[in-house]
Amino acid sequence: MTLLPKLAVRLHGAMTPQQCVTQARAAEAAGFAGAWFAENPFARGILPAAAACAVATGSLQIGAGVFNPFNRHPSLIAMEIGALDELAGGRVRLGLGSGIGSAIERMGLSYARPLTAVAEAVAMVRALLRGEPVTSTGKIFSVDGVRLDYVPRANIAIFVTGRGDASLKLAGEIADGLLISNMCAPGFAARAAAAAQESARAAGRGAIGIVQYMPCCVGADRAEAHRAAKRAIGEMLPTYWALGARLPAARSALMDGSAITEAEFASAAQRLRDGEDAAAVLDARFVAAFAIAGTAADCRAQLAACVAAGITEMALTFSGTAAAADMAYLSTALW
Tell me the β-bridge partners of 93.
63
What letter does residue 59 receive in the DSSP assignment?
S
Q: Please tell me the predicted confidence (pLDDT) of residue 77.
A: 98
Residue 35 phi/psi, 5-degree rounding, is: -135, 135
Q: Please tell me the predicted confidence (pLDDT) of residue 105.
A: 87
Beta strand 142-146 with 134-137: parallel, antiparallel or unpaired?
antiparallel
Q: Please tell me the predicted confidence (pLDDT) of residue 1.
A: 65
Q: What CATH number belongs to 6-218+295-331?
A: 3.20.20.30
User: CA-CA distance, 15 to 7, in Å (whole number)?
Assistant: 20
This prediction's pTM: 0.96
Query: Residue-wise over 281-298: b if at least 16 C-beta within 10 A, else e?
Result: bbeeebbbbbbbbbbbeb
What are the extents of the domains in the chain?
Answer: 6-218+295-331
Beta strand 142-146 with 292-294: parallel, antiparallel or unpaired?
unpaired
Q: Please tell me the predicted confidence (pLDDT) of residue 328.
A: 98
Contact 303, 311 (CB under 8 A): no
Query: What DSSP element (H or E) covers 1?
Result: none
What residues have CB less than 8 Å from 189, skipping those under 6 apart? 180, 212, 257, 306, 309, 310, 311
Measured in residues, the chain has a length of: 335
Strands (E), 151-288: 158-161, 177-180, 209-218
What does each of the 335 residues of the chain score in pLDDT, given as a tens digit?
Answer: 679 999 999 999 999 999 999 999 999 999 999 999 999 889 999 999 999 999 999 999 999 989 999 999 999 999 999 999 999 999 999 999 998 888 888 888 888 899 999 999 999 999 999 999 999 999 999 999 999 999 999 999 999 999 999 999 999 999 999 999 999 999 999 999 999 999 999 999 999 999 999 999 999 999 999 999 999 999 999 999 999 999 999 999 999 999 999 999 999 999 999 999 999 999 999 999 999 999 999 999 999 999 999 999 999 999 888 999 999 999 999 98
Query: What DSSP element (H or E) covers 69?
Result: none
Q: Please tell me the predicted confidence (pLDDT) of residue 33.
A: 98
